[in-house]
């Protein structure tokens, strides 16, 4: 019975991954996907003998489209573990504090877009890529160059890699979907799929018209910039000209994190871009290293996912069907 359910869930999640990551056309909500993934994680924990080495629970979702050159990431681009309620967050905090009792957290908005990485040499943008399967991504440099918020020159000569999220604003997505509806074309289900579909165009003139933007949120070798905390690394790249989301906050305790989440659970509707949760990261870089990562996600960070917003979905359906 459990074996059969594990097989069913694996098949479904692999199908949904393909629709979401390869075709940019999901057929189920993220909430439904997360629910099935959670069920599989729990079944595999209960029956470890049923866990395969290629299970969707251990793989970073994603694939590489034909037509793009491949880029091997120097450090893997991982996914994030999920938290859905206060209990999950308190468990996360307890796990962290067993290893690193004196850390603080950085809370950031979880931008609903597509993770990309940018490479600079001698102060020039030289290459950018998608996350892909976490190890190998797609070279989308030409499309990234069309994004106004990505600096092409920076006042820093040493090699530098900066990661972040390319996204489409709510207003741009509405405008694009109205245009598509008028032409009888299929609508983008959400800003993530719109951003991904735009960035993975072989013709960069199409990406250029899509009014994409980027928030940067990670520096894989932040120590080389002389930083000791994640927060310092964000300040540093901001000084270099990268667009960093201003709504981040350093919190000393999990109660501070919970207050931040509560604030953004309502304030998010006033943002001009979509967020689908809050990312919580250990601030101290040496403690991040101590905590390490699994093959799928770092142990020093977690994504809190907002509950599904039915009212918003209904409103969107009305907007898009008129």
The contact set with ligand NAD (CB under 6 A) reads 16-17, 19-20, 26, 28-30, 33-34, 61, 79-80, 82, 108, 110-111, 115, 131, 165, 217, 279, 303
Q: Establish whether 110 is a catalytic residue.
A: yes
Task: State in angstroms the smallest separation of the CB of 182 from ligand NAD.
Answer: 26
* Closest listed residue to residue 129, CA positions, set 74, 62, 215, 71: 71
CA end-to-end span of the chain: 46
Is 108 marked as a binding-site residue? Answer: yes
Whichever of 43 and 123 has its CB closer to ligand NAD, that residue is 43
DSSP label at residue 282? E
Q: Known binder of ligand: residue 31?
A: yes
Q: Which of 110, 175, 178, 209 is catalytic?
A: 110
Work out how close the CB of 114 gets to ligand NAD at its nearest, in angstroms, rounded to a whole number: 6
Rounded to a whole number of angstroms, the minimum distance from the CB of residue 268 to ligand NAD is 13
Q: Burial-class residue 85 by CB neighbours within 10 Å (0-12, 13-18, 19+).
A: exposed
| Residue 34 counted as an annotated binding residue | yes
Residue 34 vs 86, nearer CB to ligand NAD: 34
With CA atoms as reference, report the closest residue to 128 among 113, 146, 110.
146
Determine if residue 290 is labeled as part of a ligand binding site: no
- Which residues, other chains included, contact 143 with Cβ-Cβ below 8 Å and sequence gap of 6+? 198, 199, 200, 201, 204, 207, 208
User: Which residue's CB is nearer to ligand NAD, number 30 or number 138?
Assistant: 30
Is-contact 33 16, C-beta < 8 A?
yes
The response to whether 221 counts as a known ligand-binding position is: no
Q: Is 36 annotated as a binding residue?
A: no
Cα distance between residue 242 and residue 118, in whole Å: 11
Q: Minimum Å distance from CB 218 to ligand NAD? A: 6
Q: Give the three-class secondary structure for 184.
A: coil
- The residue (of 108 and 287) whose beta carbon lies closer to ligand NAD is 108
CB 56 within 8 A of CB 126: no
> Bridge partners of 252?
none
Question: What is the DSSP code string of 38-64?
Answer: HHHHHHHHH-GGG--TT-TTTS-----
Query: Is the Cβ of residue 34 or residue 139 nearer to ligand NAD in the bound state?
Result: 34
* Minimum CB–partner distance for residue 22 and ligand NAD (Å): 10
Say if residues 168 and 176 touch (Cβ distance below 8 Å): yes
Going by the annotation, the residues of the binding site for NAD(+) are 30-34, 79-80, 108, 131, 165, 281, 305
Enumerate the active-site residues.
110
Going by the annotation, the residues of the binding site are 30-34, 79-80, 108, 131, 165, 281, 305
């Amino acid at each position: 019975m459990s074996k059969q359910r594990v097989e069913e869930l694996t098949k479904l999640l692999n199908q949904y991954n393909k629709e979401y990551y390869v075709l940019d056309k999901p057929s189920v909500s993220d909430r439904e996907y997360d629910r099935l993934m959670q069920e599989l994680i729990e079944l595999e924990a209960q029956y470890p003998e049923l866990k395969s080495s290629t299970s969707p629970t251990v793989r970073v979702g994603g694939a590489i489209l034909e037509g793009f050159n491949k880029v091997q990431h120097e450090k893997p681009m991982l996914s994030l573990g999920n938290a859905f309620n206060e209990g999950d967050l308190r468990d996360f905090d307890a796990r962290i504090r067993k290893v690193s009792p004196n850390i603080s957290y950085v809370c950031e908005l979880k931008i609903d877009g597509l993770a990309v990485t940018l490479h600079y040499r001698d102060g020039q943008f030289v290459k950018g890529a998608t996350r892909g399967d976490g190890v190998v991504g797609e070279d989308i440099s030409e499309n990234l160059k069309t994004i106004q918020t990505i600096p092409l020159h920076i006042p820093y000569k040493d090699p530098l890699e900066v990661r972040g999220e390319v996204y489409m604003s709510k207003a741009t997505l509405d405008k694009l979907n109205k245009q598509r509806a008028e032409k009888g074309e299929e609508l983008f289900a959400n800003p993530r799929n719109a951003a991904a579909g735009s960035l993975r165009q072989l013709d960069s003139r199409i990406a250029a018209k899509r009014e994409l933007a980027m928030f940067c949120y990670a520096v894989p070798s932040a120590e080389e910039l002389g930083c000791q905390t994640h927060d310092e690394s964000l300040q540093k790249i901001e000084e270099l000209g990268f667009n960093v989301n201003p709504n981040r906050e350093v919190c000393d305790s999990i109660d501070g994190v919970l207050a931040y989440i509560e604030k953004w659970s309502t304030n998010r509707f006033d943002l001009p871009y979509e967020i689908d949760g809050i990312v919580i990261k250990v601030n101290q870089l040496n403690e991040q290293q101590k905590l390490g990562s699994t093959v799928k996600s770092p142990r020093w960070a977690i994504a809190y996912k907002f509950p599904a917003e039915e009212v918003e979905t209904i409103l969107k359906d009305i907007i898009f069907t008129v």
